[in-house]
Amino acid sequence: MSCKVTFVPDNLTVTVAKGTTLRQAAAMAGIELKSNCGGEGTCGQCLVKVVAGAADAARYLEGNVPAKRRAEGYVPACRTQVAGDLTIEVPGFARLAQHRVLVEKIRKGEVLTEEGDDLVGRFGLDPLLRRVDLKLDAPTLTENASDWTRLVAALRREAGAPSLSVGADLEFLRRLPRVLREGDWNVAVWLRGWSGVGALGAAGRGASGNGSAEATFSDVAPKVLAVDVAPLAGAGKGLASASGSFGLAVDIGTTSVVASLVDLDHGTTLATRGTFNRQARYGDDVITRIIHAGESPQGLDDLNAAVVESINELVDGVTATAGVRATDIRAVVAAGNTTMEHFFLRLPPDFIRLEPYIPAAIEFPIVAAGELGLRVNPAAPVRCVPSVASYVGGDITAGVLVTGVAERDEVTLFIDIGTNGEMVLGNRDWMVSCACSAGPCFEGGGITHGLRAVPGAIERVEVGPGYEVEVATVGGAEPKGICGSGLVDALAKLREAGIIDRAGKFHEVDSPRYRLGPDGPEFVLWRSAAAAGGATGGAAGGGRRDSGGAPRDSGGAPREIVITEADVKNLIRAKGAVYAGIRSLLAAVNLGLGDIHRIYIAGGFGNYLNVRDAVRIGMLPDVAPSRYRFVGNTSAKGARAALLSRKAFEATRELAAMITYLELSAGRGFMEEFVSALFLPHTDLTQFPSVPG
Amino acid sequence: MSCKVTFVPDNLTVTVAKGTTLRQAAAMAGIELKSNCGGEGTCGQCLVKVVAGAADAARYLEGNVPAKRRAEGYVPACRTQVAGDLTIEVPGFARLAQHRVLVEKIRKGEVLTEEGDDLVGRFGLDPLLRRVDLKLDAPTLTENASDWTRLVAALRREAGAPSLSVGADLEFLRRLPRVLREGDWNVAVWLRGWSGVGALGAAGRGASGNGSAEATFSDVAPKVLAVDVAPLAGAGKGLASASGSFGLAVDIGTTSVVASLVDLDHGTTLATRGTFNRQARYGDDVITRIIHAGESPQGLDDLNAAVVESINELVDGVTATAGVRATDIRAVVAAGNTTMEHFFLRLPPDFIRLEPYIPAAIEFPIVAAGELGLRVNPAAPVRCVPSVASYVGGDITAGVLVTGVAERDEVTLFIDIGTNGEMVLGNRDWMVSCACSAGPCFEGGGITHGLRAVPGAIERVEVGPGYEVEVATVGGAEPKGICGSGLVDALAKLREAGIIDRAGKFHEVDSPRYRLGPDGPEFVLWRSAAAAGGATGGAAGGGRRDSGGAPRDSGGAPREIVITEADVKNLIRAKGAVYAGIRSLLAAVNLGLGDIHRIYIAGGFGNYLNVRDAVRIGMLPDVAPSRYRFVGNTSAKGARAALLSRKAFEATRELAAMITYLELSAGRGFMEEFVSALFLPHTDLTQFPSVPG
């Protein structure tokens, strides 16, 4: 039986099968609901109200709803099934609002590491796809080679390689005859594997002599692939001069997706845009999304469509900014964690989640953009940067590439902290990696007033004499919540001020900011002028926390921002996991903290981290601050490098193969390190000589 | 405006746009109408009757309809447009009836040339696709390579080649995780480019050292491609033991399509079927079909769908015969003339028809069967045997392969006579080829009582004393018409008996069989008992020719079978074209008739040709009969060889590249030879010393 579900105030109606959850119905209507639990009914975020429909038109399963919301008639959309025609009201606080993604600043025309390296200069401009303009001789009765034979002969002449192997797919051949004649035998051809005049000739590049060049999905094969062809101007049929060659470098994060439009001929970056990953409607972290993907036959399609939709939105943005046609985007390189790359390519991610945590693949064939539904040139080759393992993805490989970890003798630690903390330790001779589940709190998840690094998020906290507090927010806006860097700061300062002890327990300090809230002790970091003028009692606190967890962009901003003892415990577990991961890597190669020559902090969170505070809480190693470097979004940078230089892409393949993956759950070492790290800064204070005990 | 057109007696209704022709509407309804002109309105074959519909519901354009049929209310379907709702009666005589295709007899388990060569033995059993069974180790927390990495490692071990390059497409990777676990890590993998244990190791097969291996669309590249994977029995989930490995070898002729089902593991042939090429509904010859393909946006799709439909019908047939599942057909090799290969791959054939006659391509990428709509395993690789030029196709390349023309020092002439006469002259050092348009008369087209070689077709004619005639038919059935070999025979015997002169003009011989028909002199080869008992005057003749041209399976059989002076002229032009082609090839390499060591006659027609008669009419060179060999359907044989042996396929690529194509219209030589050959046997009698002048 099919039922009509209408959502208000959007006034969108979808027809669904009986038994469909309201959450699924909302997703079908394009309405994105918040969720931390991925539809398990536990997080109480996806609340909606049934405003019309027969008494038995909705079936309610067990699900967690805050008491106040329950009294107001809210139900969890993920646990409410459609049983008849319904009208559903979706409140602002349950909607997943768009948020600004902080994209790294890019100096136009260069791909820079934090060291100022010019990656294009380092690897050479040799993009995934190259354009070659050809002037062919028109055929005659006696020079009557086929269209394809004629094109190949011209390419061989151009390359100076008479036996150059050239291929194409059927779609290319289907278009070729018309294009050749439209261009009056003058055409632009876009090629994969092309290295320019003479480069593929006697030098024998790609010959299979050296074993290392022989691997799966290699692009550096002797074969050149013709990908697209267009008539050149001169045919005078109003054709623009054969259109440009642009590429898209994409960083697919669990939370955000960032794309850069680059000019393949010149290596310049024309525009960069970020957006939030629309997969968030299916859960905040990779695990809940993998569960969704496996729950129904179209689950994986949902996740795939969501990320493709996110990228397409970025395509619209960067092409509009740069004034470039989307069909002139002719090559795409994407980097993301292993799960994101699986979703992007619609590969089954199920076994990533289940012990022993096996991905379908860690390197991937080149696919035509049209097959993936990307709104760029349908023939554009799309590649993903290779991953290392289930929880160390192509984003990390890209980071290791751009930071040059594998190019130095000295030992480097590379860390990308987000929901997961991924890290690589090593030098030119060896590299080990691991991933530790830091949980969502550094991205604002599971924290009373946690918020992503959007304007209004508290990013700096100072606790002065008499427990007075000063906060600074992203963009200087009125505080709306607190983000990862603010939380690290707050934890360090609360400890410094003696408000919490080494285990994270609150002392009953003498301040109106300290109080016993409904969930235990808490400390008020900020209160609005209105709240400051009014009551400061527990009732307001109760009302606040019932207002639905994380603050929201729409609806009223919180009147107070607090940090609770439960928040502190969450943060200690998160920082402990990161530190235990670092210790486990060091232990695996028998090195100590002193052997780390440099530490790279990557990721959006890392960009704003106060290293001194991160060391004080025992999250990062207590080494000289001069050894730390912030490297920003190295995943996006690496994708761009791999797009502009086939050598760089090959390097990511070699890196991915070279990095040893340490599965932390395989031994007892990590758990012991983790337990030791559940103090501020640590059980073993000798590891933090610079931190007061 | 859309109109309903109902066809009776089929009672099939289609909805079409106003302006659609009845012929197109019939095609949409799946009703195949006869046509020699491809919808030009000139042949008067596709006759139908408008039996209901408003007075102005059909719009009649100019079109040729025999007077009698016109009086009966018939209209040409190709020249009648729908202008409203209509009911249309399709008479039996206008329908393209199914006919039996004469398929060569194949000794089970061997691919034989006429010499008794075992091609599999000659090239080695190394099929396009190979199955390898693998037992993988299950992953653990410490042995946690990705599924694909694990599979590649096992293949490398199996091959004894630690750096073997292996690839797969996304669809393979999408299925891999489930299949590995269903089979409990025991799987069968189907591979392209796999040459067995150890074969790809140190030997470095496919290394790019030798230039000749480097070419477009080579299969012998260093890369092994995983095409399909299935769980092996033992998982105990009711799976049959991982299914078989079968291949389909297809000969796509303009008139007929023949397919053989082969066992890829053993090289045996399990079943062979033929059917007529459903493209016939769009015209009898390649030119009218190319015109149809270019006439409308979906024209090429029509032609493509028709041939794919024909092949799918054969798939149903051979799989039913052999008791094999269609999804176990995992590789396909097809050979056909260049136009047929274009239609099969949906490549635009337009410029094949227009001077200077350029095909889109003469070699073709490997495509997945699913992309082509073939009803076999969708992942099955499909390749076409390379063509030489627009009018010398993959069928000829296949023929040169199986007859070993390029393996001998002596000069061989290979001829395939159908609508076109294609021929190759050469030896191991050189080969030249050409195509001459013989016209459709050897396949029964354009001849008063012409008929394909179906049961009832006259294939032998003897003219005795007093102009008495004896005929023999295919299958010994009651005569229904006369096929190519019968026509050659008739021409020779009429000349021998002095009924026609050297120019093909009839003498007024004293026999009731000779008479002046409505189109000039004619000779009655056969008359039915009923006709023999009745009148023998001109009136019966007139009635006969009005009955719609070629005889038909359904409806009344002809009461008389005649050959007219116009038929004779047609035949002389056809035989003259063949002979002039042979002379042109010889002239191009400065050789004479005496230099030809052997002559291979291929094609269905060739199988039944009386060589003595063919020489007598001046179609074939007057050399010792012992030099002639009939080799049957070498296109089908070659496709089978190329499917079972990658080396054989590579040989076809080398042959196609080696054969020089001579465009006969490029110089005056052919036309001079042609004019000289428009006599029986020839203007220059010295070329036919054995034939009485």
Instruction: Tell me how crowded residue A625 is: count the other CB atoms within 10 A of its CB.
Output: 11
DSSP string for B339-404: HHHHHHHT---HHHHSTT---S-SS---EEHHHHT-SS-TT-EEEEPPPSBTTB-HHHHHHHHHHT
Which CA distances in Å does A508 have to A62, A467, A469, A512, A521? 38, 12, 17, 11, 8
Residue (of A549, A559, A564, A574) closest to A506 by Cα position? A564
For residue A493, what pLDDT is reported? 96
Largest Cα separation within chain B, whole Å, is 100
Report residue A214's pLDDT band, with 50, 70 and 90 as the boundaries. very low
Helices (H) and strands (E) in chain B, counts: 20, 29
Strand A367-368 and strand A269-276: pairing?
Answer: unpaired
Contact A477, A600 (CB under 8 A): no
The secondary structure of A305-362 as a DSSP string is: HHHHHHHHHHHHHHHHHHT--GGGEEEEEEEE-HHHHHHHTT---HHHHSTT---S-S
Using the structure block, give the residue that is written with the tokens 């149809």: B292
The answer to whether the beta carbons of residues B632 and B104 sit under 8 Å apart is: yes
Can you give the pLDDT at residue B99?
37
Give the per-residue pLDDT at B474.
84
Q: Which residues of A touch B222 (CB under 8 A)?
A: 208, 214, 221
pLDDT at A584: 97
Higher pLDDT, A178 or A205: A178
Nearest Cα residue to B551 out of B454, B485, B418, B472: B454
Longest dimension (CA), chain A: 100
Q: How many CB atoms lie within 10 A of CB B537?
A: 9
Find residues 341-370 of chain A whose CB sits inside 8 Å of chain B: 345-348, 350-351, 355-365, 367
The CA-atom distances, in angstroms, between A685 and each of A494, A623, A628, A678 are: 18, 14, 21, 12
Buried b (16+ CB within 10 A) or exposed e, A191-211: bbbbbeeeebbeeeebebeee
Has residue A202 got a pLDDT over 70?
no
For B314, the token pair is 């054969």
- What is the structure's pLDDT at B604? 67
The CA distance from A608 to A630, in Å, is 9
Instruction: Report the alpha-carbon distance of residue A470 to residue A526 in Å, rounded.
Output: 8
Q: Which residue has the higher pLDDT, A18 or B174?
A: B174
Tell me the per-residue pLDDT of A135-170, one tens digit each, with 9 for 90 and over. 999 999 999 999 999 999 999 999 888 888 888 999
Structure tokens belonging to residue A596: 């780390």
For helices B394-403 and B338-345, the axis angle rounded to 10 degrees is 120
Beta strand B598-602 with B628-632: parallel, antiparallel or unpaired? parallel
Q: b/e map of B626-662 (b: 16 or more CB within 10 Å)?
A: eebbebbbbbbbbbbbbbbbbbbbbbbbebbbbbbbb
Q: Fill in the amino acid letter for A610.
A: N
Those residues whose C-beta lies under 8 Å from the C-beta of residue B376, and which sit 6 or more positions away, are B248, B315, B326, B327, B329, B330, B332, B369
Q: What is the pLDDT, as a whole number, of residue B220?
A: 36
Tens-place pLDDT, residues A478-501: 999 999 999 999 999 999 999 999
Residue B324: in which H helix or E strand, if any?
none
To the nearest whole angstrom, how far is the Cα of A342 from the nearest Cα of chain B? 9
The pLDDT confidence band at residue B330, using thresholds 50, 70 and 90, is very high
Residues B532-550 pLDDT 10s? 764 444 333 333 333 334 4
Helices (H), B219-324: 286-295, 299-322
Segment A16-25 shows an average pLDDT of 83
Cα distances from B30 to residues A68, B89, B281, in angstroms, run 67, 14, 10
- Does the structure show a pLDDT above 90 at A182? yes
pLDDT (mean) for A604-621: 86
- Residue B318's contacts (CB-CB under 8 Å, 6 or more residues apart) are B248, B259, B260, B261, B270, B271, B272, B273, B324
Report the distance separating Cα B12 and Cα B4, nearest Å.
10
- Could you report the per-residue pLDDT of A547-570, keeping only the tens digit for each? 334 443 334 567 899 999 999 999
The per-residue pLDDT for B406 is 96
Interval A306-364: pLDDT, tens = 999 999 999 999 999 889 999 999 999 999 999 999 999 999 999 999 999 999 999 99
- The pLDDT tens digits for A38-95 are 677 777 888 999 888 865 777 887 778 888 888 888 898 988 888 889 999 888 788 7
* Backbone conformation region of residue B41, classed left if phi is above 0, alpha if psi is from -120 to 50, else beta: left
The chain B residue lying nearest A355, using CA atoms, is: B141
Mean of the per-residue pLDDT values of chain A: 85
Residue A102 has pLDDT above 60, yes or no: no
pLDDT-derived band at A96 (thresholds 50, 70, 90) equals low
**Cα(A394)–Cα(B138) distance, integer angstroms:** 24
pLDDT at site B55? 59
Q: Which DSSP symbol is given to A389?
A: B
The lowest-confidence range among A33-37, A113-117, B336-340 is A113-117
Q: What local confidence, expressed as pLDDT, does residue B607 receive?
A: 63
CA-based angle A633:A638:A642, to the nearest 5? 155
SS3 of A618-634: the string is CCCCCCCHHHEEEEECH
**β-pair type (A269-276, A256-263):** antiparallel
Dihedral sign for Cα atoms in the order A593, A595, A598, A602: negative
How close does chain B come to A505, measured CA to CA in Å? 36
Highest mean pLDDT, choosing among B26-40, B121-135, B575-589: B575-589
Q: Does the structure show a pLDDT above 50 at B71?
A: yes
Q: Which of A142, A361, A367 sits opposite B146 (nearest CB)?
A: A361
The pair of three-digit structure tokens given for residue B666, joined into one six-digit string: 């490029």
Residue B113 · residue B227 · CB < 8 Å: no
Which residue does chain B place closest to A349, by CA atoms? B177
CA distances from B46 to A660, B29, B32, B85 (A): 72, 15, 9, 20
Q: How far is B428 from chain A (nearest CA, A)?
A: 22
Q: Which helix (H) or strand (E) holds A390?
A: none
Range from A94-108, B153-167, B369-383, B427-441 carrying the lowest mean pLDDT? A94-108
- Over 70: is that where the pLDDT of A661 sits? yes
Q: Is the pLDDT of residue B178 over 50?
A: yes
**Residues of B numbered 170-209 whose beta carbons fall under 8 angstroms of chain A's beta carbons: which are they?**
170, 173-174, 176-178, 181, 204, 206-209
C-alpha radius of gyration, chain A, whole number = 28
**Sheet strands (E) in A378-519:** 381-384, 412-417, 420-426, 431-437, 457-463, 469-473, 481-482, 514-517
Q: Using the structure block, give the residue that is written with the tokens 């049934």.
A: A50
Q: Bridge partners of A74? A: A49
Which residue is closest to B343 within chain A, CA to CA? A174
Least confident of A350-364, A381-395, B204-218, B576-590: B204-218
Give the pLDDT confidence score for residue B110 in this predicted structure.
33
- Residue B215 pLDDT > 70: no
Q: Helix, strand, coil proportions of chain A in percent (round to 5)?
A: 35, 25, 40
> What pLDDT does A547 receive?
36
> Of residues B679 and A222, which shows the higher confidence score?
B679
For residue B30, what is the DSSP state? T
Report chain A residues whose CB lies below 8 A from the CB of B143. 356
pLDDT at B12: 76
A307 class by beta-carbon count within 10 Å (0-12 exposed, 13-18 middle, 19+ buried): buried
Q: Per-residue confidence at B206, pLDDT binned at 50, 70, 90?
A: very low
Question: Which single residue is written with the structure tokens 């046609």?
Answer: A325
Which two tokens mark A185? 């035998």
pLDDT at A405 over 90: yes
The confidence score (pLDDT) of residue A71 equals 85
Asked whether residue B608 carries a pLDDT value surpassing 80, the answer given is no
Region A245-268: what's the mean pLDDT?
Answer: 93
ipTM of predicted assembly, 2 dp: 0.77
Peptide bond into B681 cis (omega under 30): yes
Q: Which long-range contacts (CB under 8 A, 24 or more apart) does A10-18 make?
A: A10/A90, A16/A82, A17/A82, A18/A81, A18/A82, A18/A83, A18/A84
DSSP B410-476: S-EEEEEESSEEEEEEE-SS-EEEEEEE--GGGGTTTSTTB--SSTTEEEEEEE-GGG-EEEEEGGG
How many other β-carbons are positioned within 10 Å of the β-carbon of residue B12?
17
Pairing status of strand B47-53 against strand B74-76: antiparallel
B529 contacts: CB under 8 Å, gap ≥ 6 = none
Alpha-carbon distance B82 to B401, whole Å?
A: 50
Residue B336: HSE in the Cβ half-sphere, 13 Å Cα cutoff? 28
Distance (Å) from the alpha carbon of A29 to chain B's nearest alpha carbon:
28
Q: Report d(CA B337, CA B385) in Å as an integer.
A: 10
Nearest to A174 by CA among B361, B95, B119, B693: B361
Percent of chain A predicted with pLDDT > 70: 86
pLDDT value at A8 more than 90: no
pLDDT at A682 over 90: yes
What does the CA dihedral A605, A610, A614, A620 come to, rounded to 10 degrees?
Answer: 70
| CB pair distance less than 8 Å for B359 and A147 | yes
Q: Which of A255-264, A664-673, B422-431 has the highest mean pLDDT?
A: B422-431
Q: What is the mean pLDDT of residues B480-489?
A: 93
Q: Which chain A residue's Cα is nearest to B169?
A: A365
Among the partner residues B142, B143, B360, nearest to A177 by beta-carbon distance: B360
> Cα(A578)–Cα(A688) distance, rounded to whole angstroms?
15
The confidence score (pLDDT) of residue B440 equals: 80
Q: Whole-angstrom Cα distance, residue B345 to residue A148?
A: 15
Query: How big is the A-B interface in CB pairs under 8 Å?
Result: 187
Measured over the CA atoms of residue B178, residue B179, residue B183 and residue B186, the dihedral's sign is: negative
- Between positions 626 and 665 of A, the ones with CB within 8 A of B are 661, 663, 665
Q: State pLDDT tens for residues B639-652.
A: 999 999 999 999 99
